[in-house]
Structure 1
Amino acid sequence: MEVIMGIGVIYFLVIIIANTLGAISGMGGGILIKPIFDGIGYDSISAISFYSAVAVFTMSVVSTYRKVKEESKFNVFLIVWSAMGAIIGGVGGKNMLDIMLGNYSSRVVLSTQIFITILTIIFALFYSFFNWKSWSLSGFYWYIICGLILGFFASFLGIGGGPINVTLLMIMFGMGIKDAAVYSIAIILFSQGSKILAVILNGDLIYFDLSMLFFIIPAAILGGLFGSILSHTFSDKYVENIFRGMLIVVIFINLANGIVLFN
């Protein structure tokens, strides 16, 4: 019981910090939660993926609600079509993860997740530093394609959102970083919601320690509140610095996990 309480408190603190930064940057907290929980090594890959999904989904609900309450202007069509794509992509990502867990060792699956996560971070860093020209696309089919990609990677990697969300939105639709962060969080809400729903419908909840949710959900709510409040006050430049800082930190966390995994 003391061990569970201790792990729960650690999870609580990690999620508050991760979700606060994730809500500000639009990446979601999972990009920090997943590798840190992997490093702690207390839970299985599937359990960590589920806990991360719950934390990021809860944060995205809080953050999106506050944005709507602030009467922020949204491109409703972008959100609706991207969300549809994200739901399908999210289910596909979860199924792919389940297939890999059923056919390969946890070590192989985790190393695959680490490798792909680092690749997406490098891609996001290159875009952030070199300011590649955006494509300024429009049309429901592009929104769906964007959602499919984001939903799949978010669910498969277990990171909720990740660096590719904000970057892809900026590249495809020519958004500024703060606008991309808002839309990213809204899309995360649907992709992670579909993943959690799939877990419930498949009857997989029995495999997880649901008592951890008493630590995870309150922390996620607080992180979402803090992040949305700070995001409103920070400039685009400050948000971009947080975005870059998170990317660099996560690269080192994933590399450290990879080194431990192969030693």
Structure 2
Amino acid sequence: MKIFDNSKMYPFYFLLGFYFALKKGLFMLIGIIYFLVIVLANTIGAISGMGGGVIIKPVLDLLAKDSVAAISFYSTVAVFTMSLVSTWRQVKNGISLNWRLVAFISAGSILGGVGGNVVFEGLLLFLADESLVQLIQITLTIVTLIFALLYSRFDWKNYHFDSLISYFLSGLVLGFLASLLGIGGGPINVSLLMLLFSFPIKEATIYSIATIFFSQLAKIVTIAFGTGFGRYDLTMLFFVVPAAILGGLLGSRFNHLLAPKKVTLVFQAVIVLVLLINLYNGWQILAK
């Protein structure tokens, strides 16, 4: 009886094995890039109150090849995880929070977060060109960055609003921008909280992170009951979530140790860096 000789198939098996090894290696490489970017971004984000997304979003736009929606989703999960860890760590360290303020700003940020995600999904459907949506995000991010830089650099007048409606409306605006831009709130949170409620920067960073938690929670819930998670590669979360936890722990630790002037310097330095990255990303889109 003649036995089937499959030796001619060896080159095919070799190429098939090489393809899967290459694919797995590429996945690991992308995962490592995501991990390193998110650890660094969330550490800085937790120190400065920016939330990390303001760094994650433009850097992954620059380095990664995922869709605008996917990068926005990964950034949201990373910032949500970081804000949860950082807030828990701050409370554990004995930081006293005005829970009435947190409750009403968070209520506004939840509603704003839902609205921001609805507008984001609407832009993706209406424009049918991810580059245009990305350009809108970049433009609005640049505007908020410039405002935050000017506010932190110059001694602008502060207000002392203390009404529940002012807490709610500020949360509404912050949540909307955080969700729409996919940056978790970023520098606009800290600057607006300092402007409206006369918080010192270290206190503003703590309330900013607490607010970011609720706005990103609202966005994740909106995605779950809206488009769902089917269009995202959820295996990437094995890199995203641990990196976000590590960044949140490191950032809250450094925030507790650093003096307010050092926190301000970190805040301003990150704004300038991210502003340059966003300008470059915008130029790349326009040059296509």
- Taking structure 2 as the reference length, the TM-score comes to 0.90
Tell me, yes or no, if the aligned pair for 2:82 and 2:247 is still in contact at 8 Å.
Answer: yes
SS at 1:187 equivalent: helix
- Give the CA deviation at 1:208: 0.1
Unaligned runs of at least 5 residues, structure 2: 1-23
Say which of 208, 216, 219 aligns to 2:232.
208
1:178 aligns with 2:191: no
How far apart in 2 are the matches of 1:203 and 1:118? 28
Tell me, yes or no, if the aligned pair for 2:85 and 2:249 is still in contact at 8 Å.
Answer: yes
1:50 aligns with 2:73: yes
Shift >4 Å, 4+ stretches:
none
> Over residues 86-115 of structure 1, what are the superposed CA-to-partner deviations in whole Å (9 max), with x where a residue is unaligned?
000000000000000001111111111111
The answer for the alignment partner of 1:70 in structure 2 is 93
Matched residue type, 1:204: G
Matched residue type, 1:13: L
How far apart in 1 are the matches of 2:27 and 2:184? 24
1:144 aligns with 2:202: no
Say which of 96, 109, 126 aligns to 2:133.
109
- Give the CA deviation at 1:197: 1.1
SS at 2:158 equivalent: coil
Matched residue type, 1:7: I
- Give the CA deviation at 1:153: 0.3
The answer for the alignment partner of 1:16 in structure 2 is 39
Unaligned runs of at least 5 residues, structure 1: none
Report the more deviating stretch, 54-63 or 36-45.
36-45
Tell me, yes or no, if the aligned pair for 2:35 and 2:243 is still in contact at 8 Å.
Answer: yes
Say which of 4, 22, 27 aligns to 2:50.
27
The answer for the alignment partner of 1:95 in structure 2 is 118
RMSD (CA atoms) = 0.7
The answer for the alignment partner of 1:241 in structure 2 is 265
The answer for the alignment partner of 1:131 in structure 2 is 155
- Give the CA deviation at 1:203: 4.6
How far apart in 2 are the matches of 1:77 and 1:52? 28
Say which of 180, 195, 198 aligns to 2:222.
198
1:38 aligns with 2:61: yes
How far apart in 2 are the matches of 1:185 and 1:193? 12
How far apart in 2 are the matches of 1:262 and 1:189? 33
Tell me, yes or no, if the aligned pair for 2:30 and 2:64 is still in contact at 8 Å.
Answer: no
How far apart in 2 are the matches of 1:50 and 1:134? 34
Q: Name the % identity.
A: 50
- Give the CA deviation at 1:258: 0.9
- Give the CA deviation at 1:52: 0.4
1:262 aligns with 2:281: no
Tell me, yes or no, if the aligned pair for 2:70 and 2:232 is still in contact at 8 Å.
Answer: yes
> Over residues 62-98 of structure 1, what are the superposed CA-to-partner deviations in whole Å (9 max), with x where a residue is unaligned?
0000111112111111100000000000000000000
How far apart in 2 are the matches of 1:165 and 1:177? 11
Matched residue type, 1:220: A
Report the more deviating stretch, 243-252 or 130-139.
130-139
How far apart in 2 are the matches of 1:70 and 1:37? 32
- Give the CA deviation at 1:260: 1.1
The answer for the alignment partner of 2:243 in structure 1 is 219
- Give the CA deviation at 1:41: 3.8
